[in-house]
Amino acid sequence: MLILCEKPSVAKDFAAALGAAGKKGYYEGNGTVITYCVGHLYELWSPERYDPKYKKWSLADLPIIPDPFKYQVQEGVKEQAECVRKLLAAHAQDEVLIATDAGREGELIARIVLQEAGIADFSRFRRFWVSEALTPAVIKEGIRNAKPLAEYDHLAAGGFARQHADWLVGMNLTRLMSIGNPPPPFSVGRVQTAVLAAIAARDAEIRNFVKTPYKELEARIRSQDQVIVTALLENPATGKSPFVAGDEAALRTVHETYAPALAENRFPPIDTAEVKSEQKTQKPEKLLNITALQKTAYKRFGYKPDDTLNIAQELYETRKCLSYPRTPSRVMGDNNVDLFLEKFERLQSTSPLSTLCDVSLIAPDNKHIFNSAQLEDHHALIPLGPLPEGVSEKERNVYGIVLESFFMVCMPDFIYTEKSLRFHLGTAVFTATIRENTRRGWKEAVQADRDEDEGPDVPPFNEEGCILTALTIRDKTTEPKKPYSLDTLLAFMEHPREEGEGKLAGLGTPATRADSIKTLFTREYVVETKKKLSVSPRGLFLLEQLGKDEYLKKMADITQTTEWEQRLADNPGVFKKEITEYIRSCNKTDAARAVFRKEPLGTCPLCGRPVVETKIGYGCSGYREDPKCPFVIWKTVAGAAITPDDAKLLLSGQKTKPKKCIKKDGTPFETAFALEGGKVIFQFKSRE
């Protein structure tokens, strides 16, 4: 039997379970040969390989629609690709087990390899489909339960359709929007462009938001047991607490009625109190997938999503203390109870959080942890062993997040009683929601991390015999939504928004979202300021050009993007045909004729032309004109970063703030910068 795995590490697990010895590019033993890809062994051809004329970007050559799409071996893996091809050819008439990752991308990787090996008859091929940790028992059971490969043809069709569609969109629309514009290219993609549009929409919503003033009347109500709750006056016109212009008279009447008595320390008794109680149970957060890890790492440590992914990958591949990180799942498989318990017992001495756990929760009937029906590709992120010595601070922090999640998921539920209170005083009604804890459970581990919307914790509150002790009018205004940050953007990509009775499908996959966000930065579409994301002039230009055409604007429509995702899942053939026709229609537009001009940072001191930002500096826009101007301020001078604001100061004749610099011999020094004769010079602090 020949077994084809996706990664060397998985092949090694199979070899250990089946008793196969290592060879160059494969394992062999006990009648079994195990080989592996290294992720994607093949990539799609670039346009110029189909026809050299595509090297030059021309509107006349669009659209580029290959038929059929062709593949080439990726650089750096040619030797392994040839090894896999030869083994498949040698075993084509034997039993072959496809054991790439259990998901659309894993299926695509395998099918491309088979296609490039010239294999069309899959009758002797079976599919190993396991998303759990690959213990020897799980591997052997998965081999026994393997199904005919043909049963996964729909999944393979979806993989090819998605890959080909992304090529069509990227290659054609990027060229369409870039021709006639200065570099770098204006890249366009189904996910990245929709996300860019979402950030721009949030920017516009905040920019156009008109704050509305309102008032609230806040009451402090004390029980006979000296327990105090804060309640808000209910607006009789709306049944809610805000009082806007036109309603404020009712608020002031209540305040003027009782404020004099309160000023004299006379506390009016509450007439009656209505109480509605409901006991609630809140389970700990599920185990982490890569998106959940990225959100937490950003909130706690400011790590960008791609940085977190790279750190987790290092902990998995090199440190061997973390499970496979690119997972979309937040559960373990039904058969992973023993594995989880073994890791728990091994790691419980490494964290005081383990003392808050209930080991009886590590059981097959706990579907909050063990649920094969919810598995996708791989099980959730868990620690596999202690953190080794010599790791970086970032590795320690990311590992710590996963370790914390691992222990918290098997802590007891948080149980509390939520009370909705309505205090009647004359004609006034004050409302409050309080929470009385029955059992803090996992909340003991996160007392300093309370959610803002949980409501206050109070001791047991007796509603009988309460008195009003204070009234305060609060002047407030409505506030716009907050700008996206990297963690809230990831959350948006998971769940774009409610749409009617259902939800829009997620944008991208957990494994690809970090790359999509990174592309927005590398293409200079998005900027981050104090953790707030906004769209750059370059990003706005792209969206404006797309918005000029009825076809192109669909690329920036989140609903359209998610509809395409649903179409891909339902019928890959229809999806690919629709994308192909969409690309043909886009060729009718001339939106790409507009030219993007960067906002000048100032005037060139040598020739008077505008100075604009480039990838490596702030240069004269006449560097390509006649006569050419050589003026430039590099983005790094003596080891110090020169920001766009610094460049503006220099061009206006001012100096920068002092910066920490490094001499060529490594000696540190501090200086400000100024411009003199078109050159950056040092301005040392005076030593009088």
Instruction: For CA atoms 574, 576, 577, 578, give the dihedral sign.
Output: positive
- Dist. CA 201–CA 492, nearest whole Å: 13
pTM over 0.75: yes
Considering all CA atoms of the chain, what is the largest pairwise distance in Å, rounded to the nearest integer? Answer: 97
- Dist. CA 300–CA 652, nearest whole Å: 39
CA atoms within 13 A on the CB side of 216: 15
N- to C-terminal Cα separation, the chain: 84
What is the rounded average pLDDT of the residues 533-560?
93
Whether the predicted pLDDT of 280 surpasses 70: yes
Q: What pLDDT does residue 503 have?
A: 53
DSSP letter at 273 equals E
Q: What is the DSSP track for 346-409?
A: HHGGG-GGGGG--GGGSSTT-TTTB-GGG-BBBPPB-B-SPPPTT--HHHHHHHHHHHHHHHHT
In order of 226, 302, 419, 420, the CA distances from 222 in angstroms are: 6, 42, 16, 16
- Dist. CA 611–CA 599, nearest whole Å: 9
Pairing state of beta strands 2-5 and 32-36? Answer: parallel
- Dist. CA 323–CA 312, nearest whole Å: 9
Residue from 486, 300, 460, 262 nearest 393 by CA: 300
What is the rounded average pLDDT of the residues 257-271?
97
- Dist. CA 351–CA 367, nearest whole Å: 24
Whether the predicted pLDDT of 591 surpasses 80: no
Provide the token pair at 32.
């079994």
| Close Cβ partners of 543 (under 8 Å, ≥ 6 residues apart) | 196, 197, 200, 535, 556
Whether the predicted pLDDT of 688 surpasses 50: no
The identity of residue 193, as a single letter, is T
Contact between residue 458 and residue 256 where contact means Cβ atoms under 8 Å apart: no
Place of tokens 């829009």: 504
Q: What is the DSSP track for 97-154?
A: EEES-BSHHHHHHHHHHHHHTT----TTEEE----S---HHHHHHHHHT-EEGGGGHH
Whether the predicted pLDDT of 213 surpasses 60: yes
- Dist. CA 272–CA 421, nearest whole Å: 10
Quick: pLDDT tens for 634-683. 999 999 999 988 999 999 999 999 999 999 899 999 999 999 999 999 99
Beta carbons within 10 angstroms of residue 596's beta carbon: 17
- Structural Rg of the chain based on CA atoms: 31
What is the rounded average pLDDT of the residues 592-604?
81
Q: What pLDDT does residue 133 have?
A: 73
Whether the predicted pLDDT of 145 surpasses 60: yes
All structural domains of the chain, each given as residue ranges with its CATH number in brackets, are 2-41+77-145 (3.40.50.140), 163-207+485-593 (1.10.460.10), 213-283+414-477 (2.70.20.10), 290-407 (1.10.290.10), 602-683 (no CATH)
- Dist. CA 600–CA 613, nearest whole Å: 8
What is the rounded average pLDDT of the residues 578-589?
86
Contact between residue 289 and residue 329 where contact means Cβ atoms under 8 Å apart: yes
Quick: pLDDT tens for 337-346. 999 999 999 9
Q: What pLDDT does residue 439 have?
A: 93
Average pLDDT, the chain: 92
Whether the predicted pLDDT of 453 surpasses 60: no
- Dist. CA 109–CA 31, nearest whole Å: 25
Helix, strand or coil, per DSSP, at residue 88: helix
Q: What pLDDT does residue 588 have?
A: 64
Residues 219-255 as b or e (16 or more Cβ within 10 Å = b): bbbbbeeeeebebbbbbeeeeebbbeeeebebbeebb
Q: Quote the Cα angle for 339-374-155, to 5°.
A: 110
What own/partner pairs with CB < 8 Å and gap ≥ 24 does 346-351 have?
346/385, 346/386, 347/383, 347/385, 347/386, 347/403, 347/406, 348/407, 350/386, 350/387, 350/403, 351/403, 351/404, 351/407
Beta carbons within 10 angstroms of residue 688's beta carbon: 3
DSSP letter at 635 equals S
What is the rounded average pLDDT of the residues 148-175?
96
SS3 content of the chain, % helix, strand, coil (to 5): 40, 20, 40
DSSP letter at 544 equals H
User: Can you name the residues that pair with 98 across neighbouring β-strands?
Assistant: 4, 127
Residue from 284, 326, 331, 680 nearest 449 by CA: 284
Chain centre to alpha carbon of residue 557: 19
Name the band, by pLDDT with cuts 50, 70 and 90, for residue 452: very low
Q: What pLDDT does residue 27 have?
A: 97
Provide the token pair at 544.
């404006």
Quick: pLDDT tens for 381-427. 999 999 999 999 999 999 999 999 999 999 999 999 999 999 999 99
Name the band, by pLDDT with cuts 50, 70 and 90, for residue 449: very low
Whether the predicted pLDDT of 376 surpasses 90: no
Q: Quote the Cα angle for 66-68-69, to 5°.
A: 70
Share of the chain above pLDDT 90, in %: 80
Compute φ and ψ for 97, nearest 5 degrees.
-110, 120
| Close Cβ partners of 352 (under 8 Å, ≥ 6 residues apart) | none
Lowest mean pLDDT among 99-108, 135-144, 406-415, 621-630: 621-630
Contact between residue 598 and residue 581 where contact means Cβ atoms under 8 Å apart: no
Quick: pLDDT tens for 172-196. 999 999 998 887 899 999 999 999 9
